Structure 1
Amino acid sequence: MSKLTAWLTPENDRKRKIRAIAFTVLIAVLLTVVCIYCAGEYGFALFVITPLFIGICPVIIYGKKKPITRSDAFYIGSLTLLFYCFAMMLFALEGLICIIMALPFAFFLVWIGSVIGYEVISKKPKGGAPTIIALLFIIPVFSFIEKDSAPSITSVTTGIDIDASPEVVWKNVVEFPQLNEPTEFLFKTGVAYPINARIKGNGAGAIRYCNFTTGSFVEPITVWNEPKLLAFDVLEQPAPMKEINFWDVDAPHLHDYFVSKKGQFKLIALPNGNTRLEGTTWYYHRIKPEFYWRMWSNYIVHSIHNRVLKHIKANSERTNLQD
């Protein structure tokens, strides 16, 4: 341990900074591998404690032989986070879009970690090593503990008013032709989006296929109340996105971590003869903290809903005009 400490804290300021960052990135990547591939968990250990570690560790190492300020601490912590993100992409552990989604929360936690590291090394220099060792123990242990926690199901509802009767809208809800290429920036980043829908059969028990750019949602119909309600379960679903990376990334979170359970289209007849169409998706994800990732997933689901609802609206109103 003394030899490692001596190697990590040379007198040369630049070398000490480089080694502090490199050591932290190496350990953080190894801990990430343990969380994802050994514990199978994208949770608090990965998205909360690991960023804290990234903020704490390099500050303690770098500040061991040189007084530093709070701004110095945050700078070195932020630099370490960016190199960690680059390493995640370089070793095909994660893609660019997911990293961008995580960064706002990660920077906040790195800032907290840098403050903790600054306080430790400023007021209790000998407490630096035990703090780092404790985090090295807590992260993998916590990732195995939290893996058994059950996710909660969330529903997202999006609505649109259509200048057509429920009978006309219904025909365009059950199945719809090819959608135009998306104009939304979100869908140009690799996030999967719907391209058409087909149905085999009629009534409850029929199978609807909502085809996305990454594959098909297989949706057995559970309620066929024409022209008021079409409800379905989700039997199979494709990957939620195609990662942007130097390599072809097939991260574990692309499989069974964002799970759509069921959905429905509700058609409400309006007094003027038009239709209020509401699409609802019930889903869960096994990525924590839920409050943060739910903001992203709700936004994505709303965007998918809007793409489909606008397409149904255009087709229904076109049919209405032709009639």
Structure 2
Amino acid sequence: MNRLIEKLPDSDKQRKWIAIATTVIISMLLTLVGIYLIGEYGIALFVLTPFFMGACPAVLYGLKREVTKREAWQMGLLTLFIFTIGLLFFAIEGLICIAMAAPLGILFAWLGSLIGFSIVKKGTKRSPLLVLIFLGFIPTTAFVEKDIKPALNSVVTSIEIKADLATVWKNVVEFPQLEAPKEFIFKTGIAYPINAKVDGVGVGAIRYCNFTTGSFVEPITVWNEPTLLKFDVLEQPAPMKEISFWDIDAPHLHDYFVSKNGQFKLTKLPNGNTLLEGTTWYYHNIKPAFYWQGWSEYIIHKIHLRVLKHIKKNAENG
């Protein structure tokens, strides 16, 4: 890598663009390997790769010459921006997923640029070696992450309905077409429920909760009328339709967000109303878990509320 750096042109402008282009190409290759070969959306992709995009241009450009902290940050941000355009252009990712990941990408690209600047500032001859070591650390992390089993999480949403248990129960088991959503999140391509049908009665019946991208197939495991309806999820559709110029079918749309079970619990309140609770148990194979769990729970709550408000309206209208 020392030879590569020595061959970089003396022109500041040319040197910057070569440093940025080299980093973008390497980062794109790392991303393709991580997604399509290793099959992992995790810390290697969302943390280490942006960090590398922040640090590498500063090292390539700034070794054996002065570079300011501002220049390092600007090069890192530009590298991340060009990389993002590449993801969109080559139909690797869509606009919504990129927007969700943007806070992580910007944060770690910034941190990477600070580290890159510090490395160049110290003028150590081992700077290229440090970059190469970190470069090898990215796919290694992806391989390690792949074997980590995800935790099962639950999301509970509740609503009070001015109707008795029996009336609410009828609207829980199946419900007619929902109105078009007004929430912004559902206008971005995120899948949302449109109606629910049930085939059969009691344990063993199959409930179909139909979303804009397909149907959740839900075998009933508990049918305690009129207080508890519990089900497994046998099949589920894609969680979203990406916004893109192309028809994107990214790997993370399949088996990376998995709904395992769900239930509706009805409780009679002292005032004669009914407390309806909807619960979803899920896991996702996307990391860092704490970050993506926030997004997942926000979207699931919105889906729950859409269904619960529809049930409430129908039940209270008789």
Give the TM-score normalised by the residue count of structure 1.
Answer: 0.96
Q: Which residue of 2 aligns with 1:109?
A: 108
Structure 2: any 5+ residue segments left out of the alignment? none
For the 8 Å contact 1:120–1:127, the answer to whether it is kept is: no
For the 8 Å contact 2:222–2:231, the answer to whether it is kept is: yes
In 1, the alpha carbon distance for the partners of 2:63 and 2:92 equals: 32
Change (3 A) 1:3 1:68: closer
The alignment partner of 2:203 has SS state of: coil
For the 8 Å contact 1:121–1:127, the answer to whether it is kept is: no
Q: Which residue of 1 aligns with 2:274?
A: 275
In 2, the alpha carbon distance for the partners of 1:216 and 1:95 equals: 22
For the 8 Å contact 1:155–1:282, the answer to whether it is kept is: yes
Letter of the 2:257 partner, please give it.
Answer: F
Relative to structure 2, which stretch is displaced further, 57-66 or 14-23? 57-66
Identity among equivalent pairs (%): 61
For the 8 Å contact 2:69–2:114, the answer to whether it is kept is: yes
Deviation, structure 1 residue 65: 4.4
Q: Which residue of 2 aligns with 1:176?
A: 175
Deviation, structure 1 residue 47: 1.2
For the 8 Å contact 1:195–1:213, the answer to whether it is kept is: yes
In 2, the alpha carbon distance for the partners of 1:136 and 1:76 equals: 18
In 2, the alpha carbon distance for the partners of 1:68 and 1:259 equals: 46
Q: How many residue pairs get matched? A: 318
Letter of the 1:5 partner, please give it.
Answer: I
Letter of the 2:262 partner, please give it.
Answer: G
Deviation, structure 1 residue 51: 1.1
2:132 counterpart of 1:133: yes
The alignment partner of 1:156 has SS state of: strand
Letter of the 1:126 partner, please give it.
Answer: K
Q: 1:218-275 CA distances to partner (integer Å, 9 max, x unpaired)?
A: 0000110111010000000000001111211110000000000000001111111111
In 2, the alpha carbon distance for the partners of 1:49 and 1:142 equals: 9
Q: Which residue of 2 aligns with 1:192?
A: 191
In 2, the alpha carbon distance for the partners of 1:47 and 1:141 equals: 14
For the 8 Å contact 2:194–2:212, the answer to whether it is kept is: yes
In 1, the alpha carbon distance for the partners of 2:26 and 2:200 equals: 55
Deviation, structure 1 residue 64: 2.1
Deviation, structure 1 residue 91: 1.1
For the 8 Å contact 1:55–1:114, the answer to whether it is kept is: yes
In 2, the alpha carbon distance for the partners of 1:145 and 1:124 equals: 33
2:98 counterpart of 1:99: yes
The alignment partner of 1:243 has SS state of: coil
Deviation, structure 1 residue 296: 0.3
Q: Which residue of 2 aligns with 1:81?
A: 80
Letter of the 1:30 partner, please give it.
Answer: L
Q: 1:255-309 CA distances to partner (integer Å, 9 max, x unpaired)?
A: 0000000000011111111111110000000000000000000001001001101
In 2, the alpha carbon distance for the partners of 1:233 and 1:61 equals: 53
Q: 1:130-157 CA distances to partner (integer Å, 9 max, x unpaired)?
A: 1221122111122112211100000000
Q: 1:56-100 CA distances to partner (integer Å, 9 max, x unpaired)?
A: 101111212431222221111111111111111111111110110
In 2, the alpha carbon distance for the partners of 1:128 and 1:166 equals: 69
The alignment partner of 1:136 has SS state of: helix
The alignment partner of 2:126 has SS state of: helix
Change (3 A) 1:2 1:112: closer
The alignment partner of 2:260 has SS state of: strand
Q: Which residue of 2 aligns with 1:5?
A: 5
Relative to structure 2, which stretch is displaced further, 119-128 or 83-92? 119-128
Q: Which residue of 1 aligns with 2:263?
A: 264
Give the TM-score normalised by the residue count of structure 2.
Answer: 0.98
Question: Counterparts of 1:1-323 in structure 2 under 5 Å?
Answer: 1=1, 4-7=4-7, 9-319=8-318
